[in-house]
Amino acid sequence: MTNGVRLELAAQDTLVQGVLLGAANTDIAPGYDGPKINPREVPRLSLDGLAAGSIEVIVDNWTAMVKASLAGDPASFYAQITELLGTN
């Protein structure tokens, strides 16, 4: 969706920045026991990305790991996720 909007608005020089994160420590995810970042980091990192001209900002390690795995073998990704989550 973000890429489509970015392409649609490029002709009018509108920057569309994707900000990607797994979970932030907010009221939205009170029962989630996985890693959560401080929500104050999200706008700070987004603005840092804006200053650097980044069209995509990844704000937590979990999302960075998922993003990095997308081009690889899905079996490796699922094995890594299973290990991290402690599930079988």
Task: Confirm if 77 and 62 have CB atoms less than 8 A apart.
Answer: no
- pLDDT above 80 for 70: yes
Question: Which amino acid is present at 11?
Answer: A
- pLDDT above 70 for 88: no
Phi/psi-derived region of residue 21, left when phi > 0, alpha when psi is between -120 and 50, beta in every other case: beta
Average of per-residue pLDDT across 30-49: 93
Number of domains, the chain: 1
- Structural domain of 16: 2-85
Q: Say what the pLDDT of residue 48 is.
A: 97
- Residue scoring higher pLDDT (74 or 57): 57
- Do you know the residue count of the chain? 88
